[in-house]
Amino acid sequence: MARCEIFAGNWKMYKTRQEALDLVRGILAGISDIGGREVVVFPPSPWALPVSELCRGTKVSVGIQNMYFEQEGAFTGEVSPLMVKDAGCRYVLIGHSERRHVFGETDEAVNKKAAAALKNGIEPMICVGELLDEREKGNTNDVLKRQVEKALAGVTAEQMKKVVVAYEPVWAIGTGKVATPETADEAHDFIRRVVKDLYGAGTADALPILYGGSVKPDNIAGLHAKENIDGVLVGGASLKAESFLNIICVK
């Protein structure tokens, strides 16, 4: 079935305001014939609003890299879904491996954030993925099943129309070690089967599942050719307009 294809760039904690605006201008200037592909950028939170203003009415959507699940309150340092919406963001990255493994974000927090996003009309891009040790011990599928099931607890089939999953093996993020297209496709197929068991074939077939982990212009073609890979979430290679455009425009 034809699923929407999404090419997303996670800028992590890089770029001054000027650099962020220059990068998005470069992306906008280079996007030409991308058909039905969706492009999303995740700038650092302080630049979400100016980047959204530049992207309004263009083919590029904006997301935030993280948010809290409460609407407002005494939560120093956090950003609420209301603020994310107000800053013009369509998407939120939830459960990125750096959130899980550097900041100790749990499956429960991921679930609360996904629910808060959906309640507020923000589309969660939920990241899942195994550690190297988990893969080597043969536990990849158990980890993926647990992360997917916990993240989606309480999410309705209707809400699933606004959910994106990103498979990001932790051993491939920022390491230069990309998963082979076959390894990634196998994991995507497994995730889709988990979603099918939860919601049925219609929802599972329609769910965009992105691959993330050391995607570069020179390895995108093999990943893009795979049936179950509906786009990519790119870190390092999204920090330069030229390399991100080479990924977005893959044949």
Q: Which residue is nearest to ligand PEP (CB)?
A: 235
* Rg, C-alpha atoms of the chain: 17
SS3 label, residue 45: helix
Task: Please identify, using beta-carbon distances, which residue of 120 and 219 lies nearer to ligand PEP.
Answer: 219
CA 145 remoteness from chain centre:
18
Q: Does 214 bind ligand PEP (CB under 6 A)?
A: yes
What character string, x for contact with ligand PEP (CB under 6 A) and - otherwise, covers 3-32?
A: -------x-x--------------------
Identify whether 186 is a catalytic site residue: no
| Closest among 16, 19, 26, 13 to 174, alpha carbons compared | 13
Whats the size of the chain, residue-wise? 251
Beta strand extents in 97-222 (DSSP E only): 123-128, 164-167, 209-212
Q: Which amino acid is it at 198? A: L
Q: Does 174 bind ligand PEP (CB under 6 A)?
A: yes
Q: Does 173 bind ligand PEP (CB under 6 A)?
A: yes
What character string, x for contact with ligand PEP (CB under 6 A) and - otherwise, covers 218-237?
A: ---------------xxxxx
Residues annotated as catalytic (active site), given as ranges? 96, 168
The footprint of ligand PEP (CB under 6 A) covers 10, 12, 96, 168, 173-174, 212-215, 233-237
